[in-house]
Amino acid sequence: MLYFDHNATSPLSPAAREAWLEASERFVGNPSSPHRLGARAEKALADAREELAGFLGCGALDIVWTSGATESANLVMHHFAKALVGDAEVWVSAIEHPCVLETARLHFGKRLKMLPVTSGGVLDLDALRERLVEHRPGLIAVMAANNETGVLQPWREVRELCAEHDAPFFCDAAQWVGKLPSAGLGECDFVSGCAHKFGGPTGVGFLKCPSKGVVRAHLAGGPQEEGRRAGTENVAGVLSMMAALAEREAALAGDTIIEREAWRNAFAASLGDARILGAGEGRLWNTVSALLPGDCRARWVVKLDKAGFAVSTGSACASGKEAPSHVLKAMGVADEETDRVVRFSSGWETTADDWQALSKSVAEVAAEFARD
């Protein structure tokens, strides 16, 4: 089967698998233990911290190892729920991933305010600027790239606005890291990422945040991660994640993205009159979110699955929900149209031939729908 659901999760890369197996054998000690095996594991984590900090452009002590982007978002929102006083508001973009949106809703209720996006799915910077003239929020959260549409968000501009108005900024970079260069993300106050989006293992991720003594821990227990996240660190998982990320960052140093964007664009063009969400905006090189003919996207997924292609209807973390996608709704897509949106997301292993085979199969399924 050809896999086109990488925005949900990517298969473990060979480099990550090798690193995980090696680390599982070499680093058997608890990083908090006082003996040499513990010290060896702690040193491995410290080296990985330095490597990730180098990619992001921040200090090594700004890195906290977590179980993934969802835990990282919970840590950020828990911290601000404890730190903010009075009626301070939290502003998040209307297209945030559920791990940010629902956690913010849980902690802040009516103090949570949505930031609008354009019909192309990009944060409305003018609206944000206007709000900042009159109000200073306790936190602003804007993702780096949207998981459903692949549309890139102006996180650099948001970071500058936040710095100008002295507002903390949290950027969920789960879909950016490993697909685009990580350089500069470390300048954001808080940044989250997770390994399984770019070929690392599930159950491991990171949060870039202020150093020791500033962030209030979400998990109570031991003093690991400078008191910001209790629990024994996943040494093998961290090293596996960093092996995958190092491989991706090296690939990004070349011109491979231009070629991969061309494959994506050729596929999108093959869809004919189908509406491409975020068309005309900057998008991840791997993502096409299309409003296809027919009456139900689930039928598209089933038919393509039978044809040998794994595709998605949108966010895996929101699957099973009957309500229309909040992302599409924020973009102004009509409720009756959201049930026709299918997402295709490739990976680093995807070839031009794979995209062409998918294009052929989509055309065949469309012809079936036309005959029904």
Same structural domain, 180 and 320: no
Q: Render 71-111 in DSSP notation, one character per residue.
A: HHHHHHHHHHHHH--TT--EEEETT--HHHHHHHHHHHGGG
Look at the block and give the residue holding tokens 């292993």.
349
Question: What ranges in the chain are assigned the alpha helix state H?
Answer: 14-26, 36-56, 69-83, 98-108, 125-134, 155-164, 235-252, 256-270, 297-306, 326-330, 335-338, 352-371
* Per annotation, catalytic residue among 171, 188, 296, 317: 317
Section 232-245 average pLDDT: 98
Same structural domain, 198 and 299: no
Residues 6+ apart with CB under 8 A from 258: none
Same structural domain, 259 and 246: no
Same structural domain, 300 and 230: no
Section 253-282 average pLDDT: 94
Domain end call among 222, 251, 280:
251
Query: pLDDT tens digit string along 295-319?
Result: 788 899 999 999 999 999 865 444 5
pLDDT of res. 322: 60
- CA 102, CA 110: separation in Å to the nearest integer? 13
pLDDT of res. 73: 98
Q: Residue 85 above 90 pLDDT?
A: no
Q: What is the CATH number of the domain that holds 325?
A: 3.90.1150.10
Which tokens sit at 199? 């070929």
Same structural domain, 144 and 233: yes
Question: 276 forms bridges with which residues in the sheet?
Answer: 290
Per-chain mean pLDDT for the chain: 94
Q: What is the CATH number of the domain that holds 21?
A: 3.40.640.10
The verdict on whether 99 is a catalytic residue reads: no
Closest C-alpha to 113, from 94, 135, 91, 98: 91
| 3-state secondary structure at position 310 | strand
Give Cα 204 distance to the centre of its chain: 13
| 3-state secondary structure at position 351 | coil
Phi, psi of 159 (to 5 degrees): -60, -45
Section 238-262 average pLDDT: 94
Q: Render 274-297 in DSSP notation, one character per residue.
A: PEETTTTS-B-TTEEEEE-SSS-H
Q: Residue 364 above 80 pLDDT?
A: yes
Section 325-332 average pLDDT: 96
Q: Are 308 and 287 in contact (CB under 8 A)?
A: no
pLDDT of res. 215: 87
Same structural domain, 138 and 167: yes
Same structural domain, 224 and 300: no
pLDDT of res. 63: 97
**What's the domain range around 29?**
14-251
Number of domains in the chain: 2
Same structural domain, 265 and 145: no
Q: Are 177 and 185 in contact (CB under 8 A)?
A: yes
Half-sphere exposure of 212 (CA within 13 A, CB side): 7
Query: pLDDT tens digit string along 35-44?
Result: 999 999 999 9
Half-sphere exposure of 65 (CA within 13 A, CB side): 28
Same structural domain, 244 and 314: no
Query: pLDDT tens digit string along 271-295?
Result: 999 999 999 999 999 999 999 988 7
Same structural domain, 282 and 204: no
Query: pLDDT tens digit string along 116-174?
Result: 999 999 999 999 999 999 999 999 999 999 999 999 999 999 999 999 999 999 999 99
Same structural domain, 92 and 197: yes
Same structural domain, 290 and 354: yes
Q: How confident is the model at residue 253 (pLDDT cuts 50, 70, 90)?
A: confident
Section 324-347 average pLDDT: 95
Q: Residue 264 above 60 pLDDT?
A: yes
Domain end call among 216, 251, 286:
251
Question: 3 forms bridges with which residues in the sheet?
Answer: 310
Q: Residue 83 above 70 pLDDT?
A: yes
